[in-house]
Amino acid sequence: EADIYQTPRYLVIGTGKKITLECSQTMGHDKMYWYQQDPGMELHLIHYSYGVNSTEKGDLSSESTVSRIRTEHFPLTLESARPSHTSQYLCASSEWRSSGNTIYFGEGSWLTVV
Amino acid sequence: GQQLNQSPQSMFIQEGEDVSMNCTSSSIFNTWLWYKQDPGEGPVLLIALYKAGELTSNGRLTAQFGITRKDSFLNISASIPSDVGIYFCAGERDDKIIFGKGTRLHILP
């Protein structure tokens, strides 16, 4: 069972507002990720981190930013939200074993920008 | 770049039927993962496969890591209403995880 937590689960905000989506994991995983997913659609990687002070942009361009000051915490920030940012944001972390890499997801944060 | 081709995109079945879906790629992967996502939730790991040829079961679910390392399939036996959702495959190599576009499973009343 994965111990990865996202808050808020649901958020409705006005255009131009700054928001931060929180993500925490208690498994000690070095790698963490943010995916963006529209309802019923595929997953798009927007940010990832290999450890503290490491952040990289993913395959899908995003106006959001991330930080990784602590291993267990990987928040995502939108400085000025727009309706086009309306989507589900999924945080994940992965565990590397000698047998392979396994990724675990949080429950997601649904963002609606009006 | 690397791509996973997941099929079918959607399935409409009767309760009790068996289900089969697969993912293929032109690239070799070291790990294959299968997830289920319910509406409004995050994907939940169903089965992880780490070795070519590996066949693993989780209740009514069975998944296999293809011997060429370029494909994997997931079977669900005797489907029930709670099997409805989106199933994603994922392949991992060189520290990168690539997801398929999902198979949407619908169960007809």
- Verify whether the Cβ–Cβ distance A104 to B45 is below 8 Å: yes
Side-chain-side CA neighbours of residue B14 (13 Å): 2
**Amino acid found at A17:** K
Interface of A with B (CB under 8 A): 2, 6, 39-43, 59, 88, 90, 92, 94, 99-108, 110
- Verify whether the Cβ–Cβ distance A103 to B101 is below 8 Å: no
Q: How confident is the model at residue B104 (pLDDT cuts 50, 70, 90)?
A: very high
> For residue range B1-36, what is the model confidence (pLDDT) as tens digits?
568 999 999 999 999 999 999 999 999 999 999 999
Over residues A9-32, mean pLDDT: 96
> For residue range B60-97, what is the model confidence (pLDDT) as tens digits?
999 999 999 999 999 999 999 999 999 999 999 888 89
Q: What are the phi and psi torsion angles at B51 (to 5°)? A: -140, 135
The total of other beta-carbon atoms located within 10 Å of residue B81's CB is: 8
DSSP classification of residue A53: T
> For residue range A23-69, what is the model confidence (pLDDT) as tens digits?
999 999 999 999 999 999 999 999 999 999 999 999 888 899 999 99
Q: What are the beta bridge partners of residue A20?
A: A77
Side-chain-side CA neighbours of residue B23 (13 Å): 30
- Give the lowest-confidence range in A31-45, A67-81, A89-103, B52-66: A89-103
Q: How confident is the model at residue A95 (pLDDT cuts 50, 70, 90)?
A: confident
Name the minimum distance, in Å, from the CA of A79 to any CA of chain B.
Answer: 24
Tokens of residue B74, six digits: 């997931």
Q: Which positions in chain B touch A103 (Cβ < 8 Å)? A: 33, 45, 90, 92, 97
